[in-house]
């Protein structure tokens, strides 16, 4: 007697059939994990496994913050159809970097490879090495490109606080747009990324206006940048988790409510129990706004001059206006 096919494989085959029949076309979203649990009557783990199988086979791609979508035909095909369509377009470093960034944005940095880029561009893999030495060098170009998307203004705003706030917001915006960027950037082993160095120079120049130089200025810059980057490290896994489960962070928290309450009823965590009754929202943008303001508030007490205007003296800076 033949063994019954696992539920997740039946789901995989059905979604494949829809793609083959044209019901689902490249770029179309496939059912989310939550929708699969409703339509097929399976557990969330089964739905997640089905989507992971389709991704692993290259049939679909996870687009963080959007959906799991049907992959382009060239992503799964082994022929040279893409090469015939696009091979006549001049290959250069900018096209290679743009392709790598698009892959990293949609699927994560781990999916970026020279072979994958060549497939997407419709060229031979070895032709990429005439423009980029390898993946390590490619990553530098990728980071430089995305950090250059939002330019620091030629004329900075008045006061060190406004300058640091501006650069931090631009960094957060870049991390938001490219979730892979934060894990790629290193603080302890900084890469030579020119557009990233511009942010460091901007911060040091802002701190120089109040007479802070050298090691202390660099420590202030790294403290502030470390906060922005550290919070941004949650962006990529959160986006991937949402794609894998079909649940937003708030929806996922709702599924854990009964277990949280069971623990809290024991009375060991009264402060957390009080918070649980509130409408608490752990939104990353809200956490960024709160943290940025508190760090800048603290720096006003530390720096020797006021947050605005010319440098001054004293243990406490004047409040920002």
The CATH number of whichever domain residue 141 belongs to comes to 1.10.10.60
Measuring CA to CA, which residue among 147, 107, 53 is closest to residue 236?
107
Structural domain ending residue among the three candidates 147, 175, 202: 147
**Does 74 score more than 60 pLDDT?**
no
Give the three-state DSSP class for 55: helix
Is 2 a member of any domain? Answer: no
Q: Is residue 22 part of a domain?
A: yes
pTM over the 0.75 mark: no
223: in domain: yes
**Which of 97, 122, 147 is at the close of a domain?**
147
185 domain-assigned: yes
Cα angle: 237, vertex 110, 199; to 5 degrees: 75
Looking at per-residue pLDDT, the higher value among 321 and 220 belongs to 220
Answer whether residue 1 is part of any domain. Answer: no
- Reported as a single tens digit per residue, the pLDDT across 133-173 is 999 999 999 999 999 998 999 999 999 999 999 999 999 99
Q: What is the mean pLDDT of residues 110-130?
A: 90
Whether residue 22 is predicted with pLDDT greater than 90 in this model: the reply is: no
- In this prediction, residue 2 has a pLDDT band, given cuts at 50, 70 and 90, of very low
Locate 169 and state its tokens: 């917001």
The reply to whether 35 falls in a domain is: yes
| pLDDT the model gives residue 65 | 53
Check whether 314 has a pLDDT greater than 60: no
The domain boundary residue, chosen from 96, 130, 147: 147
What does 263-312 look like in DSSP terms, one character per residue?
HHTTSS-HHHHHHHTS-----HHHHHHHHHHHHHHHHHHHSSS-SSSS--
pLDDT in tens, 199-257: 999 999 999 999 998 999 999 999 999 999 999 999 888 877 776 777 777 777 777 77
Residues 309 and 235 in one domain: yes
| pLDDT one-digit tens code per residue, 268-282 | 888 777 777 766 667
Gap between the Cα atoms of 235 and 232, Å rounded:
5
| pLDDT at residue 55 tops 80 | no
Domain identity same for 242 and 269: yes
Q: Residues 179, 293: one domain?
A: yes
Rounded distance between C-alpha atoms, residue 162 and residue 207, angstroms: 11
Summary mean pLDDT of the chain: 82
Q: Do 173 and 91 share a domain, yes or no?
A: no
Residue 20 scores a pLDDT above 50: yes
- Contact, 318 vs 311, CB < 8 A? no
260, 123: one domain = no
Q: Check pLDDT > 80 for residue 76.
A: no
Q: Which residue has the tokens 């760090």?
A: 295
Backbone phi, psi, residue 212, to 5°:
-95, 120
Asked, for residue 3, whether it belongs to a domain, the answer is: no
Q: Which two tokens stand for residue 240?
A: 């991937």
Any idea what the CATH number is for the domain that residue 30 is in?
1.10.10.10
Instruction: Check residues 144 and 29 and name the one with the higher pLDDT.
Output: 144
- 71-80, 131-140, 172-181 — which is least confidently predicted? 71-80
Kindly state whether residue 179 falls inside one of the protein's structural domains. yes
The range of the structural domain enclosing residue 41 comes to 8-75
What pLDDT does 89 receive? 52
| Residue 223, domain CATH | 1.10.357.10
**Domain match, 159 and 296 both:** yes
Do 207 and 220 sit in the same domain of this protein?
A: yes
Same-domain check for residues 258 and 114: no
> What pLDDT is stored for residue 300 in this prediction?
92
The count of domains in the chain is 3
Q: pLDDT confidence of 265, banded at 50, 70, 90? A: confident
Residues 69 and 191 in one domain: no
More confident residue, 63 or 208: 208
Q: Do residues 207 and 86 share a domain?
A: no
Same domain, 279 and 173: yes
| Domain shared by 85 and 31, yes or no | no
Whether residue 190 is predicted with pLDDT greater than 60 in this model: the reply is yes
């Amino acid at each position: 007697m033949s063994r019954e096919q696992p539920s997740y494989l039946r789901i995989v085959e059905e979604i494949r059939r829809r793609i083959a029949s044209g019901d689902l076309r490249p770029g179309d979203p496939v059912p989310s994990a939550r929708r699969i649990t409703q339509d097929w009557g399976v557990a969330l783990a089964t739905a997640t496994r089905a989507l992971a199988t389709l991704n692993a086979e290259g049939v679909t791609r996870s687009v963080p913050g959007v959906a799991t979508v049907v992959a382009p035909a060239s992503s799964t095909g082994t022929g040279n159809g893409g090469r015939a369509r696009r091979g006549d377009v001049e290959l250069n470093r900018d096209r290679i970097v743009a392709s790598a960034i698009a892959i990293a944005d949609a699927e994560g940095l781990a999916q970026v490879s020279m072979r994958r880029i060549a497939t997407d561009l419709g060229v031979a893999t070895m032709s990429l090495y005439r423009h980029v030495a390898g993946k390590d060098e490619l990553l530098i170009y990728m980071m430089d490109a995305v950090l250059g998307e939002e330019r620091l203004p030629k004329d900075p705003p008045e006061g060190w606080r406004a300058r640091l706030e501006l650069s931090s917001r631009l960094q957060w915006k870049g991390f938001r747009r490219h979730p892979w960027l934060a894990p790629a950037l290193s603080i302890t082993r900084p890469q030579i990324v020119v557009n990233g160095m511009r942010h460091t120079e901007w911060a040091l120049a802002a701190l120089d206006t109040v007479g802070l130089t050298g090691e202390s200025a660099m420590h202030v810059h790294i403290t502030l940048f470390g906060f922005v980057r550290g919070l941004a490290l949650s962006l990529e896994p959160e986006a991937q988790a949402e794609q894998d489960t079909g649940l937003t962070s708030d929806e996922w928290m709702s599924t854990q409510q009964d277990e949280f309450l069971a623990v809290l009823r024991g009375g060991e965590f009264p402060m957390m129990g009080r918070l649980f009754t509130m409408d608490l929202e752990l939104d990353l943008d809200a956490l960024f706004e709160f943290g940025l303001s508190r760090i800048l508030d603290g720096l006003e007490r530390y720096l020797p001059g006021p947050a605005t205007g010319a440098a001054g003296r004293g243990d406490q800076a004047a409040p920002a206006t």
